[in-house]
Amino acid sequence: MQPQAVIVSSSGTVSEQTLSSELGWTLKPEGLCREEVCVLVPDRARLVSDAGVDLETFAELMDRPVVVDPVAGLTAIGAPREQRRGALNDLHAPDFALPDLDGGVTALSDHRSKKRLLVAFSSW
């Protein structure tokens, strides 16, 4: 689960449907769920209101960094911090998928079972 590109939301909230389609989590009676995993939601009223699911509360529950710009109506949500800590402390490479120059999407895991040299570079 890589960091999220920016989410458009004028109120800092999203519908449960968007939460599911954009962020991959579904609100169920047992908590926030993704595949077999559910995260408990201790204070449900703080997470969900008539306006929808509060993104800052969601990010906090998931231990993901978040910055909300209410004026622009944009929210950026980072990756769960444990993914980066897993890379730094446990040397486990977190997966990611990004657009490639051939017009497709390439993931680190597309080349699993190979020895990979990953190089971050730029034009600047």
Partner 1 sequence: MQDELHAAGHLEFQVLAVAIDNNVEAIRGFAENITFPVLIDADHLLTELYAISNVPTVLLIDEDDRIAMPNWSAYGTDTFSEFTGVSADRQHDRIRRWVREGDAGISSEDARAAVGDLTPEEEAARLHFRLAVALQQRGDADGADRHFDQAAALAPQDWTIRRAMMPLRGEDPFGQGFLDIYQDWRANGSPYHGLMGY
Residues within the interface to partner 1 (CB under 8 A): 2-3, 5-6, 65-67, 69, 71-72, 74, 76-79, 81, 83-85, 87-96, 98-102, 106, 108-109, 111-124
Look up residue 68 and give its amino acid.
Answer: V
Q: Which long-range contacts (CB under 8 A, 24 or more apart) does 90-96 make?
A: 93/118, 94/2, 95/2, 96/2
Nearer to partner 1, 2 or 26 (CB): 2
Look up residue 30 and give its amino acid.
Answer: E
Nearer to partner 1, 31 or 78 (CB): 78
Min dist. Cβ of residue 71 to partner 1 (A): 7
Rounded Cα distance between 101 and 44, Å, is 43
Rounded Cα distance between 88 and 83, Å, is 9
Min dist. Cβ of residue 46 to partner 1 (A): 21
Nearer to partner 1, 40 or 124 (CB): 124
- Map tokens 């204070």 to a residue: 43
Min dist. Cβ of residue 66 to partner 1 (A): 7
